[in-house]
Homo-oligomer: A and B are copies of this chain.
């Protein structure tokens, strides 16, 4: 959790860009106490001949699918704020480069999720804090 899959045009991002982008995404989650290593970001370069928007090939669209497992929000206001926070994180890598962008977040059940053979600790527990501090899974 979170898993970000970023479908982007060929050559849209340098290695430096991708690392900065992944670092900015990671910061969203470490800010609320999640271990950094929970955040997996995969970049998928998709040529225009494989990338259609409205039936037309596109070389200027970034489509992102985000999966949340560790934390789910119920309150509509907090959901809105969170989504706008994610969007703002994207701006330097989309809007500011004249790329079209779209993303959505999927929420998936925590109880069907394991890391390195362990059940991720419950939110806000000492074990979760220990994982965040060590930045790796620890038996608990």
Contact = CB atoms under 8 A, between A and B. Distances in A.
A50 B111 contact: no
A138 to B, nearest CB: 13
B104 A1 contact: yes
A124 interface: no
How often does this chain occur in the complex, in copies? 3
Interface string A15-40: 10011001101110000000111111
Size bracket, chain A contacts: 35 or more
Interface string A48-80: 011111111100010101010100000010011
A37 B46 CA distance: 17
A44 to B, nearest CB: 7
